[in-house]
Amino acid sequence: MTSTSVPETWQSISRRKKEEQLSRIPKEWILTEKPGSAVTIYMDIPQKCGLLTKEELRITEEFDATALAEEIRMGRLKSVDVVRAFCKRAAIAHQLTNCLTEILFISALSRAAHLDAHLASGKPPLGPLHGVPVSLKDTFKIRGYDASIGIASLCFSPAKENAILVDTLLSAGAVLYCKTNVPQTLLALDSHNNVFGRTLNPFNTRVTPGGSSGGEGALLAMRGSVLGVGTDVGGSIRIPAMCSSLYGLKPSWQRIPYAGQESGSEPEAAKLAIPASAGPLAHSMRDVELFFRTVTGQRPWEKDPDVLPSPWFSLSSLPRDRKLRIGVVRRDGIAEPHPPIHNLLSQVSASLQSSGVQVIEMDITPLLSQCQSLTNAMFGIYGGNYMFDLLEKTNEPLSPWLAGKLKRKSALPLHKVRELHAKRMELQRKFLEIWRDGRGEIDAFICPVAPHPVPPIDKWGSVSFTSSFVLMDYPAGVVPVKAFGKEDMAGEVEGKSLGRWDEMNRKLWTGFDRSVYLGSPLGVQVVVPRLEERKLVEVMTVIDRAVKRGEKEVGPKL
């Protein structure tokens, strides 16, 4: 007789994966007391829980990545002490927010000790990130660890080789110590899957941490990471950046190596749809710049054929012979922004004008209003069949938010795919015209990240303001500005409904308990022309300084 093995269920795979996770956290780092359901703000728990020493609190709170790199390089801090502090704080953040997937603490501490010995022997640093801990979204493959992206059938299949960006960061001296949670299918704007569960927002557990790099955002928000790397194909870096008061930047897709990731799709499938980008989430703009300067300095185009040969200082930067000209885009023609979003744009505009920047109001709704439907069509060209195949291997159901939104469909025929790309190219051509007005070149524009504040879990509305700039392949980043306060609760959404997306958006304001938003972050999105990442970093820095001018700075100064 022959015996046949019974496939393991997704539930048992999830149990085993969580047991593995817990086993990789030292017992002395386990919280003895968890917050009750009445507690909705977790930000001060790391300081109060008693697990972090005074020095570990100093290391994780008083430095950005740039400063830590300098402290390690000069011998004032040891990498092993820095890495241990962030490993411990990441463990605390995970126990509170469920933000981690793979835990690499043991190998990270071993690498940190090796890097300290390297410097002690008189050798120069490996690179700009020598000894600095860096966290990664779960999609990045690290040899010997899973890249399951929260799909049960992908668990317990360790990667055999590193993603190219992983090797790039290692060659620059970084210490990789954890990977972070994502939504099932990577297509949700929250962060829940059946393997690891749901990630919470430590600023306010009633609102979303965003997605799909939501675990990364929550980890950085709790200072469990000093520099993280996410990916973005519809807003997945910028949305968590807004939700967690972080700086986040999505580059054009050919700028940063993306190869070697797990996306739940067949190899190179995105080339026929819309390619995703990898980029940083950080606590300061100079850390965003450090990431790009470091990665391009490793010449990744020699390993990833998609990356354009482009040393950082060879890229476009701000004009030196005239005033900076920044546009303001207030509407997308799909969902009318809530009053606090309009007020935020006006506040940032006023700060820029006070700083000597020329501000230009722009109306590009005739173009923006076409983007979301085209983007959605291009996301769906494969019908989701490969992802459904992965789920059905263990009879895994869709997450609740996805259950009514995704289903198997037939892949589009080639001529339909061609038609979608033709429409995209025509839109990209028309968008080129927005960068000049009658008075000259527009260097960048600001716009909302979303038409609403950070919403409750699973309530994110339109992604037009983020997905449009993936469709256009424009670099786009987020600058945090303020927290939602009582003064932001005033006002009503005016005018007639623009359609289904607008109706959904109004439900998050009209007749809604606006106190839910209190304390949640508000930020603006900054956009520049294709492949002008250095200009974007410099414009974001100008905006960041303008909105902080006259205010007491928090954390390291730029």
pLDDT in tens, 103-124: 999 999 999 999 999 999 999 9
Encode pLDDT of 140-175 as tens digits. 999 999 999 999 999 999 999 999 999 999 999 999
pLDDT at residue 115, rounded to an integer: 98
- Phi/psi for 502 (5° steps) reads -70, -40
Give the least confident one: 304-313, 360-369, 546-555.
Answer: 546-555
**Residue 150 annotated in ligand binding:** no
Q: Provide mean pLDDT across the span 330-337.
A: 98
Residue 464 known to bind ligand: no
CA distance 528 to 83: 35
Task: Grade residue 550 by pLDDT with cuts at 50, 70 and 90.
Answer: very low
Give phi and psi for 480, each to the nearest 5. Answer: -70, 145
What is the rounded average pLDDT of the residues 60-76?
Answer: 98
How far apart CA 304 and CA 272 sit, in angstroms, is 18
**489: pLDDT strictly greater than 60:** yes
Q: Does 173 appear as a known binding residue?
A: no
- The catalytic position among 17, 78, 137, 250 is 137
How far is 84 from 90, CA to CA, in rounded Å?
Answer: 10
Residue 553: pLDDT band with limits 50, 70, 90: very low
Q: Which listed residue (14, 153, 191, 212) is catalytic?
A: 212
Residue 234 marked in a binding site: yes
Per-residue pLDDT band at 2 (split at 50, 70, 90) = very low
pLDDT for position 316: 87
* Mean pLDDT for the stretch of residues 200-226: 98
Phi, psi for residue 553 in degrees, rounded to 5:
-75, 145
CA distances from 269 to 374, 376, 383, 423, 463 (A): 18, 16, 12, 19, 22
Mean pLDDT of the chain: 96
Q: Binding residue per annotation — 236?
A: yes
Q: At what angle do helices 371-379 and 464-471 cross, to 10 degrees?
A: 70
Q: What tens digit of pLDDT does each residue of 435-477 get? A: 999 889 999 999 999 999 999 999 999 999 999 999 999 999 9
225, 236, 399, 520: the catalytic one is: 236
For the residues 203-222, what does the mean pLDDT come to? 98
User: Is 3 noted as a catalytic residue in this protein?
Assistant: no
Report strand pairing: 227-232 vs 133-137. parallel
Using DSSP's 3-state secondary structure scheme, residue 280 falls into strand
pLDDT confidence of residue 404: 86
CA 104 to chain centre: 21
In CATH terms, the superfamily for domain 12-31+40-308+320-548 is Amidase signature (AS) domain (3.90.1300.10)
For every residue of 383-420, DSSP letters joined together read TTHHHHHHHHTTTPPPPHHHHTT----PPPPHHHHHHH
Write down the pLDDT at residue 556.
36
Q: What is the pLDDT of residue 551?
A: 58
Q: Do 246 and 478 touch, CB atoms closer than 8 A?
A: yes
For the chain, the C-alpha Rg in angstroms (whole number) is 23
Known active-site residue 410:
no
pLDDT average, residue stretch 515-544 = 98
What is the Cα–Cα distance from 449 to 504, expressed in whole angstroms? Answer: 16
The 10 Å CB-count burial string (b at 16+, else e) for 321-340 is eeebbbbbbbbbbbbbbbbb
pLDDT band at residue 7 using 50, 70 and 90 as cut-offs: confident
The rounded percent of the chain whose pLDDT value lies above 70 is: 97
pTM of the model: 0.97
- The token duo for 60 is 């994780």
Write down the pLDDT at residue 20. Answer: 98
pLDDT at 557: 36
Q: Is 236 a catalytic residue?
A: yes
pLDDT above 90 covers a percentage of the chain that reads 95
Res. 217: pLDDT tops 60: yes
What pLDDT shows up at residue 4?
A: 58
pLDDT per residue as tens digits for the range 409-431:
999 999 999 999 999 999 999 99
- Strand-pair partners of 135: 228
212 labelled as ligand-binding?
Answer: yes
